[in-house]
Amino acid sequence: MSLETSSLGPMTKSNVSTTVDTSTVDYVSKDQILQGLPLNQSSLTKVLRELTMNIDSEDSFFVADIGEVYSQFESWVTELPRVIPHFAVKSNPDPAIIKILASLGTGFDCASKAEIKLILDAGVSPDRIIYAHPCKPTSHLLYAKLNDVQLMTFDNENELHKISAKYPSAKIVLRIGTDDSNSLCRLSLKFGAPMSSTFSLLKTAKLLNLDVVGVSFHVGSGCNDDNAFTEAITNARTVFDQASQLGYNLSILDIGGGFPSPKQRDGVEFKTIASNINNMLDKLFPPSMNIKIISEPGRFFSSSPFSLAVNVTSKRAISNDSDSSLQAVPSTSSPSPSNSDDTSFMYYINDGVYGSFNCIMFDHQIVYPQVLVRNGSFELNNMDLQSTTHYNSSIWGPTCDSIDCVASSVSLPELFVGDWILFQNMGAYTGSAASKFNGFEPSQVYYYNSKKL
């Protein structure tokens, strides 16, 4: 499959042209997809069946649907046609996903020298990058200068003096704080200038002869408040007016990230958030202002394409009248089910919170296990499993650390060593923060395409 675009302006479906090669395979490795090996249109079920039933390996693995990435791009263009997405690389720096998004004309939000290098190495021009870190190491700032990455954020006076000394020709964007109290990750606890300081910061930038070109904000990762953008956009307009008083003609509004994964089980829907954003943009930043509006979505693009399959490597049965200490596990997963009898099970799998499931610890995620293969039979979406006796179960990662708990209390039919469990919507803030603690390697990725393009 190959994807090409002819425009980097405000995006519509009509200016994204696609071509598909004659395909020969249902899934490929990372190296193969980067080489452009074509893919058949396939499905998650088909690919998982092939990988779990026909391959003699117990290693955990991701399957990534590149068709879903394209579908998400289409959704973005439909719902937020004025907003050019700059993919937050930190959410998932997978080279194949970056290649696809680059071909679709997105920009990229980078927060470090390594992320900038990754995007430049993918053939993306530096003018499609925003260095969206308000507090940059000097060496990283100099790397951006060396590679002509001009657009970057700031939120404090010291950063202005650093930029003035090291990269005075940079085009800088003032990041303001927001009310992100209803978000999974409250980024304004760490970044964003208070509104009480914005005019002073703009005056300092003016005195330093720095080129302030815009305003940015971030309502927090995993935002669950459909009105969160309302106040933030209003405050951004206030800063635009302040800048105008000082002789600046701002041209960029960066509305940040916080956009939900399309397949999340609860919380506000993307369409609702997008509708509120569009209304506020039309009111405060109408097209007649000729403002370039960008954003920094991460999980919106990266979460739903990735599913993680893990293998049950060990198991223990627990009776309620014994081993009571083993049942006092942390509440890191879905709501507790009712027990079918006095027996519960502990399952040990080959990925955990030091690996892909670090999202439980750092991104406040709740993960939902699905039986994939049970006792040698492929069971995904098998409704007959619902009538099978279920037991209160916990799922544990492979390391020697007792905090390595993936799910503390879930209802599952009895599983066996060698069975497979599936977790969907696992692309955001998972593999990007995985470690090799205890010598366990990160899960590899296979790619497939569900979409006819």
Q: Are the beta carbons of 222 and 259 closer than 8 angstroms?
A: no
- 364-402 as b/e, with b when 16 or more CB fall inside 10 Å? ebebebbbbbbeeebbbeeeebeeeebbbbbbbbbbeee
The position carrying tokens 């083993």 is: 326
The closest alpha carbon to 311, from 6, 56, 98, belongs to: 56
Catalytic annotation, pick one of 223, 359, 400, 405: 400
Strands (DSSP E) found in 38-185: 61-65, 83-88, 107-110, 129-131, 151-154, 171-175, 183-185
Q: Are the beta carbons of 344 and 391 closer than 8 angstroms?
A: yes
Alpha helices (runs of H) in 257-339, residue ranges in sequence order: 270-284, 299-302
CA–CA gap between residue 379 and residue 402 (Å, rounded): 30
State the helix-helix crossing angle for 66-79 and 95-103, rounded to 10 degrees.
40
Quick one: tokens of 427? 């692309």
CA–CA gap between residue 147 and residue 120 (Å, rounded): 9
The closest alpha carbon to 415, from 387, 391, 398, belongs to: 391
Q: How far apart are the first and last CA of the chain?
A: 9
The closest alpha carbon to 385, from 353, 355, 356, 422, belongs to: 422
Is 135 catalytic? The answer is no
- 107-120 as b/e, with b when 16 or more CB fall inside 10 Å? bbbbbbbebbebbb
If DSSP codes are grouped into helix, strand and coil, which group holds residue 215?
Answer: strand
Paired with 391 in beta bridges are 412
CA–CA gap between residue 412 and residue 339 (Å, rounded): 10
Q: How many CA atoms lie within 13 A of 437 on its CB side?
A: 18
Active site residues: 400
